[in-house]
């Protein structure tokens, strides 16, 4: 919503003048004279106080008609992890078998408390839980490729095989021996120009791509684990890495088709609807009515819309390209502002 409290506006304007990092993501400022909106650290020339409007979310700024500033990139950088959190994540990725303690973080000049708070807010877990899941996922991949549980346990910095087995079962829901024939859903978080997204993948392909603030996201996680009979574990695999790379190219305007493998469990009807979605050309739109006709049942408009809503792989399976019969934007889990942005982005790149 637009901020109306005068004291708050005065405080936010001063933070804008000071380029105060503490206010990144707290407010978004729309500049009336340029039509763009920014975050507190923007390096652009500061507007006069009578030429700004403050909003509590970037969606509100978009809805008010402002476009993201190309200098501070507010929809991306407002959700970027702080430098020490980014460094801590990179530490885990570069040393996936090591346990990183609070003492080690402090020796590097990091605040364990700040890192924990960020992870709790943005991942729903502590940093220790995040790295524990990363270690177990790395161990799981090694076990799948034939390494013994004993070698994997000690290589992963566990002091005993029993301790490794206990933690493995706590994360995976099964013992190491029982897990070898099962799948795991590897999930990772990354930023985009439209805010952060979660990408999840099994060994077969990407099964989840959603904005982190999507409604009912936790329900999607639970449904996906139930459908695939697999736990969700923080980490990366070849499919999550490829998806991130292809999404970066898509947002940069240099990719129009995706090649990453997909693993999308669903009913026969849902699968049929999603296949039709993938055939909608880049930069074009279709209606729910046309989509229903393409699946062979012109009266199944509501069922088609429901199947679109059940799509867990946004953008790659482009449900944003489906609009109302009268041309209006309707029904997008990521929000209509994002749907409008994606369609305009594709039109500009055609």
198 phi, psi to nearest 5 deg? -100, 135
Give 150's Cβ-side CA count (13 Å radius): 0
SS3 sequence of the chain:
CECCCHHHHHHHHHHHHHCCHHHECCEEEEECCCCEEECCCCCCCCCCHHHEEEECCHHHHHHCCCEECCCCCHHHHCCCCCHHHHHHHHHHHHCCCCCCCHHHHHHCCCCHHHHHHHHHHHCCCCHHHHHHHHHHHHHHHHHHCCCCHHHHHHHCCCCCHHHHHHHHHHHHCCCHHHHCCCCCEEEEEECCCCCCEEEEECCCCEEEEEECCCCCHHHHHHHHHHHHCCCEEECCCHHHHHHHHHHHHHHCCCCCCCCCCECCCCCHHHHHHHHHHHCCCCCCCEEHHHHHHHCCCCCCHHHHHHHHHCCCECCCCCHHHEECCCCCCCCCCCCHHHHHHHHHHHHHHC
Q: Point out the residues that are catalytic.
A: 319
CA distances from 218 to 123, 208, 210, 214 (A): 12, 12, 11, 9
Pairing of strands 52-55, 67-68: unpaired
């Amino acid at each position: 919503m637009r901020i109306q409290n005068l004291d708050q506006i005065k405080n936010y304007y001063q933070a804008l003048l000071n380029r105060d990092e503490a206010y990144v993501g707290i407010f978004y400022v729309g500049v009336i004279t340029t039509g763009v909106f920014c975050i507190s650290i923007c390096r652009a020339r500061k507007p006069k106080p009578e030429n700004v409007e403050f909003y509590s979310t970037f969606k509100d700024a978009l809805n008010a008609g402002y476009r993201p500033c190309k200098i501070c990139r507010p929809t991306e950088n407002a959700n970027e992890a702080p430098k020490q959190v980014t460094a801590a994540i990179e530490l885990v990725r570069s040393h996936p078998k090591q346990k990183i303690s609070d003492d080690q973080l402090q020796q590097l000049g990091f605040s364990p408390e700040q890192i924990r708070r960020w992870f709790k807010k943005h991942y729903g877990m502590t940093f220790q839980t995040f790295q524990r899941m990363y270690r177990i996922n790395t161990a799981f991949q090694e076990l799948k490729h034939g390494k013994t549980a004993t070698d994997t346990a000690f290589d992963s910095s566990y002091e005993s095989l029993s301790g490794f087995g206990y933690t493995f079962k706590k994360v995976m829901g099964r013992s190491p021996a029982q897990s070898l024939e099962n799948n795991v859903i590897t999930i990772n978080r990354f930023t985009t120009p439209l805010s952060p997204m979660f990408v999840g993948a099994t060994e077969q392909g990407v099964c989840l791509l959603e904005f982190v603030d999507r409604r009912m996201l936790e329900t999607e996680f639970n449904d996906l684990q139930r459908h695939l009979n697999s736990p969700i574990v923080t980490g990366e695999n070849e499919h999550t890495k490829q998806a991130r790379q292809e999404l970066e190219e898509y947002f940069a305007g240099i990719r129009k088709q995706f090649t990453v493998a997909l693993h999308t469990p669903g009913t026969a009807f849902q699968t049929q609807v999603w296949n039709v979605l993938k055939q909608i050309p880049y930069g074009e739109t279709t209606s729910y009515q046309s989509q229903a006709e393409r699946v062979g049942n012109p009266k199944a408009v509501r069922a088609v819309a429901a199947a679109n809503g059940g799509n867990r792989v946004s953008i790659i399976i482009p449900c944003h390209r489906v609009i109302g019969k009268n041309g209006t934007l309707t029904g997008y889990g990521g929000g209509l502002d994002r749907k409008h942005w994606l369609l305009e982005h594709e039109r500009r790149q055609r």
